[in-house]
A and B are shown apart, each in its own frame.
Chain A
Amino acid sequence: MSWIRACSADELDDGDALQLPTDPPVAVFKADGEFYALDDTCTHGLSSLADGYVDGAQVECAWHLAKFDLRTGAALSLPATKPLCTYRVRVDGGDVSVEVPDRV
């Protein structure tokens, strides 16, 4: 695992997300003032969750409307049944960093 810089803290508003070009891709969300990092690819239909709709600490997949908990990665509704992997996030000064898996 290694830490990479994702963005500056003021780049994302509540409800915003961005996709990191990692392998696998990781999405960084800001919800209710907190930053979260999870797998970007929905465990059901392969869409990018950074395109999803953030509501509270949940993100809804933009294609098939599965919901995930941003804090735990848990799948909260069908059609998804498998959780997302979550990653550690650090806000240092004005920078948001994420601990991502090393490329294999």
Chain B
Amino acid sequence: MHRSSCVIVGASAAGISAALALRRLDYRGTITVVDGDPHPPYERPPLSKALLDDTTGGLVPIVPWSTYADLEIDLRLGERVTAIDPGALKVHLGGGEQLDVDRLVLATGVTARHLALPHADADNVLTLRDATDAARLSAQLARGGPLVIIGAGFIGLELAAVARQRGIDVTVVEAQPRPLANIVGPEVASLVVDLHRGHGVRLITGATVERFAATGSTVEQVVLSTGHRLDTATVVVGIGVQPRTELGTSARVDVDHWGFPVNEFGQTSRAWIFAAGDVASQAHPHLATRGRLEHWDTAQRHGAAVGSTVAGEPVRYKEAPYAWSDQYDATLQIIGRPRGTDQVVIREGATPQRFLAFWLRDGRLAAAAGMDASREIGIARRLVASTVLVDNAVLADAATDLRALLKPHRPRSPEQLAG
């Protein structure tokens, strides 16, 4: 009998989760995961949170190495997929080999955006996406500062925190009036700004890079639109990402502004080709418009849902997005996606080191963010998944036990709700 074959492009959180879900649900076909990155599949979040000392020593494996052999998941690491042939049902590898395929999962992720400026490719201008980037950055930072970070998103702020903890002089440049404002709104953004300024980060907002002043292949000064001239030893550019959709052309699947558009089951415009994780353009119930959910938790859950669907048990991915970001000694956690039209409630007693914020939509909790408040965020996650009506004064009251709000309506878990 013909054995079915699933090829997964990307040994990422999404790709590996898909592979594991396939086997968990007794998928009997072959599973091949292809990735150009030669390292055994590793967790990306720690890359920006604690910098590596060498290229492999500090990498955190997604699952123990033996798992892949145990589950007959064939890893093709350090190899690239060059094309998909949907007519012949083949995946072409860079070395010339062709793999049979009847189910394809594109978990190709995203790449860091670069600045379109002269010297943006200088030796000391870096981005951070993978283990190789992290090793380069770590070696660069070992020489000391000053460090100039372009972009005050999650990557930029986490790096700022890590560098300050190493005693490095840090300046963060942000084009918007506030960092993270599109993600957590101005109130919470101000608290995060205060936290970083309190740790000695210099933050310049409403500014863009006008040009790099370089000697040879080394940038020595960053000149801003505001007129600032920043001396620098290392520049890190964290200004967002671009989806890796190159394979869409040969696969002849639709590609949009965000990535590969998928339905609620992760299917692209071609029913046997799926996309999972960062590269998927989703019409997700927590997004106001179609878009990407660029979080590790999403990648993992979306990958698992797609793997389950490929294995014959369709799963819709509709859980609230969840992200965390380590900032100095505390963790910033965000559940859901705040919108400008939501009513924001900051719990009494908020400080930059510890706070809790809620966003209400139609009387229900739509999103929450907390710094050093992980216990409350765990409960807020259930409230977001529930239909419990909440009151802003109750949420603002520091004495409120959030768990008590859940009790009258014992909710189903987010996983059950997603099913």
Chain A residues within CB distance 8 Å of chain B: 15, 47, 51-53, 55, 60, 62-65, 78-79, 81
Q: Are A78 and B17 in contact (CB under 8 A)?
A: yes
A15-B403, A63-B324, A65-B322 are known contacts. Are A79 and B378 too (CB-CB below 8 A)?
no
Q: Encode B11-51 as 1/0 by CB contact (under 8 A) with A.
A: 00000010010000000000000000000000100000000
Classify the secondary structure of A's interface with B: loop
CB neighbours of A53 from chain B (8 A)? 378-379, 381-382
Q: Are A81 and B63 in contact (CB under 8 A)?
A: yes
Q: Which residues between 319 and 339 of chain B lie within 8 Å of chain A, taking CB atoms?
A: 322, 324, 331, 333
Once the chains are docked, how many angstroms separate the CA of A78 from the CA of B63?
Answer: 8
CB neighbours of B381 from chain A (8 A)? 53
Does B300 reach chain A (CB closer than 8 Å)?
A: yes
A55-B413, A78-B62 are known contacts. Are A60 and B378 too (CB-CB below 8 A)?
yes
Apart from A53-B382, A63-B333: 20 A-B pairs, beta carbons within 8 A? A51-B374, A51-B375, A51-B378, A52-B375, A53-B379, A53-B381, A62-B374, A62-B375, A62-B377, A62-B378, A63-B324, A63-B331, A64-B297, A65-B297, A65-B322, A78-B17, A78-B63, A79-B43, A79-B300, A81-B63
Closest to A81 in B: B63
Does B118 reach chain A (CB closer than 8 Å)?
A: no
Closest to B303 in A: A78
B303 CB to nearest chain A CB (Å):
10
CB neighbours of B63 from chain A (8 A)? 78, 81
Q: Which residues between 292 and 349 of chain B lie within 8 Å of chain A, taking CB atoms?
A: 297, 300, 322, 324, 331, 333
CB neighbours of A51 from chain B (8 A)? 374-375, 378
CB neighbours of B324 from chain A (8 A)? 63-64
Closest to B63 in A: A81
Once the chains are docked, how many angstroms separate the CA of A21 from the CA of B246?
Answer: 53
Does B57 reach chain A (CB closer than 8 Å)?
A: no
CB neighbours of B413 from chain A (8 A)? 55
Q: Which residues between 337 and 390 of chain B lie within 8 Å of chain A, taking CB atoms?
A: 374-375, 377-379, 381-382
A104 CB to nearest chain B CB (Å):
26
Closest to B375 in A: A51
Does B64 reach chain A (CB closer than 8 Å)?
A: yes
Once the chains are docked, how many angstroms separate the CA of A81 from the CA of B322?
Answer: 20
Smallest CB-CB A-B distances: 9 pairs:
A62-B374, A53-B378, A51-B375, A62-B378, A51-B374, A81-B63, A62-B375, A63-B374, A63-B324
Once the chains are docked, how many angstroms separate the CA of A20 from the CA of B48?
Answer: 32
Contacts A/B (CB < 8 Å), 11 sampled: A47-B374, A53-B379, A60-B378, A62-B378, A63-B331, A65-B297, A65-B322, A78-B300, A79-B62, A81-B64, A81-B67
A65-B297, A79-B62, A79-B300 are known contacts. Are A52 and B378 too (CB-CB below 8 A)?
yes
Once the chains are docked, how many angstroms separate the CA of A15 from the CA of B375?
Answer: 12
Once the chains are docked, how many angstroms separate the CA of A94 from the CA of B64?
Answer: 43
CB neighbours of A64 from chain B (8 A)? 297, 324
A56 CB to nearest chain B CB (Å):
9
CB neighbours of B17 from chain A (8 A)? 78
A55 CB to nearest chain B CB (Å):
6
Closest to A44 in B: B60
Closest to A50 in B: B375
B124 CB to nearest chain A CB (Å):
31
